[in-house]
Amino acid sequence: MIDDLVTRGVTEPYRMFTSRAEFRLSLRADNADQRLTPLGIDLGCVSETRRCAYSEKMEAMSADRTELEALSLSPGELAAAGMNVNQDGARRNGFALLSHPEVTFESLRPFLPDLDSIPADIREQVARDALYVTYIDRQKHDVEAMRRDEGHEIPQDFDYSMLPGLSTELKLKLSRAQPRTLAQAGRVEGMTPAAMTLVLARLRRDDRKRAAG
Q: Which residues contact 11 (CB under 8 A, 6 or more apart)?
A: 189
> Would you say residue 51 has pLDDT above 70?
yes
User: What rounded mean pLDDT belongs to the chain?
Assistant: 88
- Between CA 57 and CA 138 the distance in angstroms is 26
> Would you say residue 102 has pLDDT above 80?
yes
198 pLDDT band (50/70/90 cuts)? very high
Cβ pair 200, 141 in contact under 8 A: no
> Would you say residue 33 has pLDDT above 70?
yes
Check residue 140 and give its pLDDT. 84
R_g (Cα) of the chain, nearest Å: 22
- Between CA 27 and CA 81 the distance in angstroms is 34
Q: What is the mean pLDDT of residues 10-31?
A: 70
pLDDT in tens, 137-155: 888 887 787 788 888 999 9
- Between CA 78 and CA 86 the distance in angstroms is 10
Check residue 192 and give its pLDDT. 83
Check residue 180 and give its pLDDT. 94
> Would you say residue 13 has pLDDT above 90?
no
| 195: nearest Cα among 164, 151, 159 | 164
Check residue 189 and give its pLDDT. 82
End-to-end CA distance of the chain: 44
> Would you say residue 64 has pLDDT above 90?
yes
- Between CA 118 and CA 59 the distance in angstroms is 12
Check residue 144 and give its pLDDT. 83
Instruction: Please tell me the total number of residues recorded for the chain in this structure.
Output: 213
Residue 110 burial by Cβ neighbours in a 10 Å radius (0-12, 13-18, 19+): middle
Check residue 14 and give its pLDDT. 62
Check residue 130 and give its pLDDT. 95
> Would you say residue 121 has pLDDT above 90?
yes
Check residue 75 and give its pLDDT. 93
- Between CA 62 and CA 60 the distance in angstroms is 5
Check residue 148 and give its pLDDT. 85
> Would you say residue 28 has pLDDT above 90?
no
**Beta bridge pairs of residue 153:** 181
1 pLDDT band (50/70/90 cuts)? low
Q: What is the mean pLDDT of residues 131-142?
A: 86
Computed from CA positions of residues 115, 118, 121, 127, in that sequence, does the dihedral angle turn out positive or negative?
A: negative
In the chain, the domains with their CATH numbers are 2-148 (no CATH), 160-211 (1.10.150.570)
